[in-house]
Amino acid sequence: MSATTLTRLEGPAPEAQIARDLVKRASWIAPVLVVLCGALWGLQGAASGAYGVAIVVVNFVLSAALLAGTARISLALMMGAALFGYLVRLGLIFLAVLLVRDASWMALPALGLTLIVTHLGLLFWEIRYVSASLAFPGLKPARVGPLENRTETP
């Protein structure tokens, strides 16, 4: 076996930090989506919108938990969890919709739109805050002030 497959990651999990931030942002946007779905599809739309936001939040939290947990075991397992975990989570979303598709409180257009808009909206919103740096994995550090990017000349 190569050293890469045996390597594991220690320390704080940036996945968990990003997932917590996504949940925080979802809590801000959820009331707006529920009210909007309620205005368009009535009470069934509001219930479907809330259910859709819950599915999205559970999906992001489950993804972070899978990646953070498997990274502590080995990088190869984390890569497998990223690939097959996506398929399993997609199946869970399908199952969550399949189980309630005929329920009296369900408005499928509201649920479908909420699932798509919330997934993509939260991901694009989060892009602004994620650091693509090894120095700060996870979220970008808070800005200190307007002089932080200046360099002094001797």
pLDDT in tens, 49-67: 999 999 999 999 999 999 9
Q: Which residues of the chain have pLDDT under 50?
A: 150, 152-154
Query: In degrees rounded to 5, what are phi and psi of residue 37?
Result: -65, -35
Q: pTM of this prediction?
A: 0.80
Burial class, 20, CB count within 10 angstroms (exposed 0-12 / middle 13-18 / buried 19+):
middle
Give how far Cα 36 sits from Cα of 30, 105, 148, Å.
10, 16, 41
Amino acid identity of 44? Q
